[in-house]
Amino acid sequence: MQLTNIVVNQSISPEIEMPLSWTRLFYLEKEYGDSFFILDIKKFESNYQEFLQAFRAIYPNTHLGYSYKTNYIPKLCQSVNFMGGYAEVVSQMEYDLAIAIGVPPSRIIFNGPLKYSEDIERAILAGSIVNLDCLEEVDIVTALARRLPDQQIAVGLRCNLDVVGIGRISRFGFDVEGGALDDVFKVFRELNNCSVLGLHCHISSPTRSVESYKLRTQKLIELSDYYFQEKPPQFIDVGGGFFGKMNDDLKAQFDCYIPSYQEYAEAIAPQLKSRFPGNYTPELIVEPGVAVVADVLKFVAKVVGMKTVQSRQIALVVGSIHNIKPTLTGKELSLQVYRSEENSDHKNISPPVDLVGYTCMEHDCLYNNYSGQIGIGDYVVFDNIGAYTVVFKPPFIRPNPPIISYDSTLNEYDLIRRRETTKDVFSTYVI
């Protein structure tokens, strides 16, 4: 397998704020409906390049594998492919998407705990990087290598490391301390046509701290020194899980420090630069998802109802918590309310107001105690919702809303996912 170094010379352009107003949202509603997502593709590309260059400034042989599971909008994934990044996938569905949008198999990293034998064989034989997670997958690869003795088989191995700040024992990868990783290397040494290309580690930390990345990088380097004594591995993959950009009011709701791209790069890249100073340097692969996509999506929902229940003021919007914060329970996202200056006869109530969703669940409150003026016909725009919202949203109560893409260079909006229909939701059922 050849790991090519694709470099796209793209400068990091200054971000242009998406111009929104009540009038603009009104016309967007006429075309797309009373709730929709807006994707700022230029901001995504800027985040991607800024993150990548923070690492490359220290360790040039760095590449990003964009985490499809975080947000697999095809337009985003196509942009990553254009910029030379890997597609980091954790399912056959995501692998198929990467192939469908033109990603070369050699630029796909296949991770995840559940890979069927046919998925593993297809990816390996196509030249993708497959990071094995468990002994059952080792058995699949072993059987493949024995069935095809003239075929060179190459894989990566996911390492289960003891990293500070996790707070629990991770269920992913081969236990380093318990000897499972050592056993896997022994299996592959006995196969003449099977080799390990590199080591991978992805461990979720609640604080996503710089210290945890320093430690996992240090341990991966130590493992590479131990298992790759003749020559360094082709890659060292430190995974993802980094904090992304967020507004100050959201940042203040976290009880931990929020590192920058630069701080993450300084925790990881200098260690590889110090350990591999020569001409041959392993490829450093980093797998950001949240870090580059968190702040590139907005959700627009129209206010359609107002009521007072005892002392509680309530505004009903065409959206739900599933649209904006499936993984941020207990936090209030940044929002802005756009009001019509001419619409003076719409119904208003005095703050504070709870902005509630369309579902029949009591906990479906998109924002608690909004302190500004709000009324029927206004538009509420939530920010910092790029991570996991689109991929986690179930067709609960209402089909999924459309996604439109904003291009700040052209100041244009384009539909990139149409509104889901009743037929879409029930098309897989036998009626």
The per-residue DSSP string of 249-316 comes to HHHTTSSS----HHHHHHHHHHHHHHH--SS--PEEEE--SHHHHTTSEEEEEEEEEEEEETTEEEEE
* DSSP string over 185-225: HHHHHT-TTEEEEEEE-----SS--HHHHHHHHHHHHHHHH
Do 288 and 305 belong to one domain?
no
Residue 283 falls inside a structural domain? yes
- Which of 264, 292, 320 corresponds to the end of one domain? 292
Average pLDDT over residues 16-30: 89
Of the residues 292, 323, 349, which one is the last residue of a structural domain? 292
Provide the CATH number for the domain around residue 245: 3.20.20.10
Task: Please report the beta strands in 94-187, taking only residues with DSSP state E, as ranges in sequence order.
Answer: 108-110, 129-132, 153-160, 174-175
Q: Clarify whether residues 266 and 316 are in a common domain.
A: no
**What digits encode the pLDDT tens for the residues 370-405?**
999 999 999 999 999 999 999 998 889 999 999 999
Kindly tell me the sign of the dihedral angle through the C-alpha atoms of 268, 270, 275, 276: positive
Q: How far apart are CA 46 and CA 265, in angstroms?
A: 17
Identify the pLDDT of residue 166: 63
Burial of 216 (0-12, 13-18, 19+ CB in 10 A): buried
> What is the predicted pLDDT for the residue at 367?
96
pLDDT band at 3 (very low <50, low <70, confident <90, very high): very low
How far apart are the C-alpha atoms of 372 and 384, rounded to whole Å?
A: 20
Residues 345 and 282 in one domain: no
- Residue 16 domain-assigned (yes or no): no
Q: Tell whether 18 is covered by a domain.
A: no
Q: Is the pLDDT of residue 7 over 60?
A: no
Which pLDDT tens digit goes with each residue over 167-179? Answer: 678 889 999 999 9
Residue 405 lies in a domain: no
The confidence band for 6, taking pLDDT boundaries of 50, 70 and 90, is very low
Return the pLDDT at 4.
39
Least Cα distance to 194 among 239, 238, 140 occurs for 140
Predicted local confidence at residue 165, as pLDDT: 59
Closest listed residue to residue 171, CA positions, set 239, 113, 131? 113
Instruction: Report pTM.
Output: 0.92
pLDDT digits (tens, 9 = 90+) for 141-156: 999 999 999 999 999 9
Distance CA 134, CA 157 (A): 9
pLDDT tens figures, 279-338: 889 999 999 999 999 999 999 999 999 999 999 999 999 999 999 988 877 889 999 999
261 C-beta neighbours (distance < 10 Å), count: 21
Pairing of strands 62-67, 235-237: unpaired
CATH number at residue 376: 2.40.37.10
Helix H or strand E encompassing 324:
helix 321-324
Say if residue 228's pLDDT is above 80: yes
Does residue 219 sit in the same domain as residue 349? no
Instruction: Quote the tokens at residue 421.
Output: 């229909």
Q: Are residues 102 and 215 in the same domain?
A: yes
| One domain, residues 280 and 306 | no
What is the pLDDT at residue 343?
A: 60
Looking at residues 6-31, what average pLDDT do you find?
Answer: 72
Domain co-membership, 101 together with 211: yes
What digits encode the pLDDT tens for the residues 90-105? Answer: 999 999 999 999 999 9
363: its two tokens:
């906990």
In a domain, 90, yes or no: yes
241-273 confidence digits (pLDDT tens) = 999 999 899 999 999 999 999 999 999 999 999
* Pair 250, 384: CB distance under 8 Å: yes
Q: How many domains does the structure of the chain reveal? A: 2
CA angle centred on 228, ends 224 and 234, rounded to 5°:
75
Structural domain includes residue 416:
no
Cα separation, 49 vs 200, whole angstroms: 22
Domain span at residue 143 reads 41-292
**Which residue among 262, 292, 322 closes a domain?**
292
pLDDT score for 345: 53
Sole residue written with tokens 């591995």: 233
pLDDT over 70, % of the chain? 94
Tell whether the model's pLDDT for residue 2 goes beyond 60: no
Claim to verify: residue 87 and residue 202 sit in the same structural domain: yes
Contacts of 370 (CB under 8 A, 6+ apart): 315, 335, 337, 351, 352, 353, 354, 355
Residue 68, SS3?
helix
Average pLDDT over residues 48-62: 98
Tell me, yes or no, whether 190 lies in a domain. Answer: yes
Query: Does 413 fall in a domain?
Result: no
Apex 308 CA angle, 302 and 309, nearest 5: 125
Cα separation of 385 and 8, whole Å? 28
Q: Are residues 341 and 238 in the same domain?
A: no
Q: pLDDT at position 170, please?
A: 86
Do 225 and 90 reside in the same domain of the chain? Answer: yes
118 and 233 in a single domain? The answer is yes
202-206, 225-229, 413-417: least confidently modelled range: 202-206
Q: Are residues 133 and 215 in the same domain?
A: yes
